[in-house]
Amino acid sequence: MKSFTEYEDINPCPCGSQKSYGECCKLKQVRWGYDENQALIKRLPITPEIEKELNDLIKMFEEYYGRKPGKEDYVFPYLSGFGRMRPIS
């Protein structure tokens, strides 16, 4: 994502809680904002352990396929419904 403009604190929280964003999700470190196309998106914090796991999966993908994963590629081969890594045809 190239740009992220954070949602304003005084607006109603997009989660539907009926609280203001500044009194709701923002306090929980959940960030709502707009991308470069003005689409509303949510950013969630991740722990260092999850970040390491994601980086390990990306590295495994790169070693297997010889390239970085794209938007449509699966990097979670062990999750139900995602199948196994498969050779490129």
pLDDT in tens, 6-60: 999 999 999 999 999 999 999 999 999 999 999 999 998 888 998 898 899 889 8
pLDDT reported for residue 72: 81
Rounded to two decimals, what is the model's pTM?
A: 0.57
Could you read off the pLDDT of 58-78 as tens digits, one per residue? 898 899 899 998 878 877 766
Q: What angle do CA 5, 73, 54 make, to 5 degrees?
A: 65
Selection from 33, 73, 78 nearest residue 88 by Cα = 73
CA 33, 36, 38, 39 dihedral sign is: negative
